[in-house]
Amino acid sequence: MSTPTPQKFEFQAEIKQLLDIVIHSLYTEKEIFLRELVSNASDALEKLRHTQLTEKDIFDDKLELEINVTTDDKAKTITIQDFGIGMTREELVQNLGTIAHSGSKAFLKAIGEGAQKNSNLIGQFGVGFYSAFMVAKSVKVYTHSWRTGEPGLVWESDGSGSYTIEEVEGQRRGAKIVIELKDDCTEFASDWKAKEILERYSAFVSFPITLNGKRINTVQAVWLRNKNEVKEEEYTEFYKFQAHGYDEPQLRLHFSADAPLSIHALLFVPKESTEKLGLARLEPSVSLYCRKVLIDAKPKDLLPEWLRFLKGVVDSEDLPLNISRETMQDKALIEKLNRVITKRFLKFLEEEAKNRPEGFETFYREFGVFLKEGAALDYTHKDQLVKLLRFESSLTEKGKYTTLGDYVTRMGSEQKEIYYLVGPNRASIESGPYLEGFKARNLEVLFCYESVDEYVMNNVREFDSKKLTGADHADVKLAEVPQAEGALAAADLETLTKWMKETLGERVAEVKSSDRLVDSPVLALNADKFMSPQMRRMMKAMNKEGGDSPLRVNLEINPRHAINKRLFALHTSAPEKAKLMAEQLLDNALISAGLLDDATAMVARLNKLLENI
């Protein structure tokens, strides 16, 4: 069957319109064309591999299954050659002359049931090829089908209304696509630019890719392999390559799912949090792939914000590779992926916490703050996250963690709330005045050391229907402990507190006898329910309004403490001295609470007191 050459064809009727969409608006970046053509080459090789299983008579059978890209910056061309299945004249017309026809889809149908599972075929929508016209003045497709009786052919078009097909001699099997670049797209004829694009999008294509003779893809798409067959070193190598990690990952989750979406994911937790080290806020860095081809290296909504420390890959066959990533349709899909992956990762953390508690605690020390952020802000996952939170407490040893769940099991029947204290470290909380009353009553208090903790505890609000309550909040009511011997009598106590309120004036909202003090003489409690000392400090640090509003505290005094008994005696016998003493006591309480802003007056007074010892 010989056809006069060249033969001219008109593109299918809708083609101009459709080409216009593809060229001008479907893709956000021009460089995508190379990803699409390499994906097509990979599909063509995959098809050949299938064909080889059943057909003996294959044209040019000795050729390697590989993809060769060459650039020529003088001629301003880029060429993508594969030794795949190639195309006959009819196939050229069908596959490249009809926009909505996807040969890959037809191929899948042809090889029958079960073929849908063949994730090695990238194409699905039959428009990727036309992305070449975003950058091309003209596109030539040299091809020879795997069928031995067929001629070599060249298809050519400038992407406007028509194309030609002509026979050529000496054509190897497969397809060679030569793109003559538009004047404003000549950068794609440079080796470095092509390298950058190939490495970004096509690093995991399963057939060897060379660029100007040099091999591009050397690392495998391990996420698609069975996890029992992947070696530790391979995971680490992949992590270093794909996530640009310099460390060894401390946790790894490799999983696949079929329903409700097809997902292959490989997620890593790095050793250290750079954000914790004070470096910039992390960007999402779990990359989105579709059948080994990169769709988006830093997809924003693939995972919730608080999982921004994760690295790795999510690959979903359900993603339409050819559809622009900003469309609404994609958004719903991304949300679905987000839900499935987040749920799976939380389950993974739960298992780690249960089965490898030490490893989990190492993780928590570094990344716990992200879980707290999630517990405070991500309403959907709050319940699961709260269970993962870890705290030291007045009942744990230094450096040992407990959970809210365990705390609740230790609560006495009369205890209604979960108590916590925020402070810079264990020693400062333990030596502060707030803890002793709780200790005397055998009430456990959780210790929080991070500045976000107050905010987190406020947002989490309750656990197991028990309110989370700051042990330094003024409205905490504690049960009576038996009055110790030698306390000031009730009437004297009333006189003393009244005198102290008059003496200290505006600096205190209230002075009263304390039921929570055991060893300390006085204690300052926050009079402002809505602004804890920690919050006030934070706002001050951030120069926020309210940070330096005049501070008023409730002062509680310990009726059993020797200092207060002495103060009671002095307030009538030596009122001047007693006044100095009362002021100093207030400042001492403020220092313990971390609330004394300016120590100048305090130091002057203290010197005066020392003079009279």
Where do the H-state alpha helices sit in 423-543?
A: 426-431, 435-440, 453-460, 490-504, 533-541
Contacting residue, 40, 131, 384, 514, with Mg ion by CB under 5 A: 40
Amino acid at 554: N
Q: Would you say 40 or 558 has its CB closer to Mg ion?
A: 40
Task: For strands 152-157 and 162-168, give the pairing.
Answer: antiparallel
> For residues 35 and 217, is the Cβ–Cβ distance under 8 A?
no
Residues with Cβ < 8 Å from 114, sequence gap 6 or more?
none
Contacting residue, 86, 97, 103, 128, with Mg ion by CB under 5 A: 128
Residues with Cβ < 8 Å from 290, sequence gap 6 or more?
122, 315, 316, 317, 319, 320, 321
Contacting residue, 97, 123, 270, 368, with Mg ion by CB under 5 A: 123
Closest CB 176 distance from Mg ion, rounded Å: 16
Burial class (CB in 10 A: 0-12, 13-18, 19+), 57: exposed
| Residue 126, contacted partner among ligand ADP, Mg ion, none, CB below 5-8 A by kind | ligand ADP
Per-position x/- string for 18-47, each x denoting binding to ligand ADP as judged by CB under 6 A, each - no binding: ------------------x---xx-xx---
Closest CB 192 distance from ligand ADP, rounded Å: 24
Q: Would you say 110 or 562 has its CB closer to Mg ion?
A: 110
Q: State which of positions 83-102 bind ligand ADP (CB under 6 A).
A: 84-87, 95-96, 102
DSSP codes of every residue in 110-156:
HT-TTGGG-TT----SS-GGGGGGGTEEEEEEEEE-SSTTPPEEEEE
Q: Would you say 126 or 559 has its CB closer to ligand ADP?
A: 126
Q: Would you say 36 or 392 has its CB closer to Mg ion?
A: 36
* 152 contacts ligand ADP (rule: CB under 6 A): no
Closest CB 236 distance from ligand ADP, rounded Å: 34
| Residue 456, contacted partner among Mg ion, ligand ADP, none, CB below 5-8 A by kind | none
Per-position x/- string for 157-196, each x denoting binding to ligand ADP as judged by CB under 6 A, each - no binding: ------------------x---------------------
Query: What whole-number distance in Å separates Cα of residue 46 and Cα of residue 38?
Result: 12
3-state secondary structure of 553: strand
* 124 contacts ligand ADP (rule: CB under 6 A): yes
Query: What whole-number distance in Å separates Cα of residue 562 and Cα of residue 287?
Result: 66
Closest CB 105 distance from ligand ADP, rounded Å: 6
| Residue 41, contacted partner among Mg ion, ligand ADP, none, CB below 5-8 A by kind | ligand ADP
Q: State which of positions 413-432 bind ligand ADP (CB under 6 A).
A: none
| Residue 82, contacted partner among ligand ADP, Mg ion, none, CB below 5-8 A by kind | ligand ADP
CA 419 to chain centre: 31
Instruction: Candidates 127-135, 249-257, 262-270, 486-494: pick the segment binding Mg ion (CB under 5 A).
Output: 127-135
Contacting residue, 104, 287, 316, 564, with ligand ADP by CB under 6 A: 104
Q: Which residues sit opposite 447 in a β-bridge?
A: 392, 421
Residues with Cβ < 8 Å from 33, sequence gap 6 or more?
27, 131, 132, 134, 135, 136, 179, 188
| Residue 127, contacted partner among ligand ADP, Mg ion, none, CB below 5-8 A by kind | ligand ADP
38 closest CA partner among 292, 214, 225: 292
Query: What whole-number distance in Å separates Cα of residue 526 and Cα of residue 376?
Result: 23
Instruction: Candidates 116-124, 138-146, 223-231, 471-479: pick the segment binding Mg ion (CB under 5 A).
Output: 116-124
Contacting residue, 97, 123, 270, 312, with ligand ADP by CB under 6 A: 123
| Residue 87, contacted partner among Mg ion, ligand ADP, none, CB below 5-8 A by kind | ligand ADP
Burial class (CB in 10 A: 0-12, 13-18, 19+), 22: buried
* 592 contacts Mg ion (rule: CB under 5 A): no
Q: Would you say 86 or 270 has its CB closer to ligand ADP?
A: 86
Amino acid at 393: S
> For residues 310 and 303, is the Cβ–Cβ distance under 8 A?
yes
Q: Would you say 175 or 500 has its CB closer to ligand ADP?
A: 175
| Residue 125, contacted partner among Mg ion, ligand ADP, none, CB below 5-8 A by kind | ligand ADP
Burial class (CB in 10 A: 0-12, 13-18, 19+), 286: buried
Closest CB 532 distance from Mg ion, rounded Å: 59
Contacting residue, 129, 188, 289, 370, with ligand ADP by CB under 6 A: 129
130 closest CA partner among 294, 296, 211, 16: 16
Binding site residues, ligand ADP, CB under 6 A: 36, 40-41, 43-44, 82, 84-87, 95-96, 102-104, 123-129, 175
Binding site residues, Mg ion, CB under 5 A: 40, 123, 128
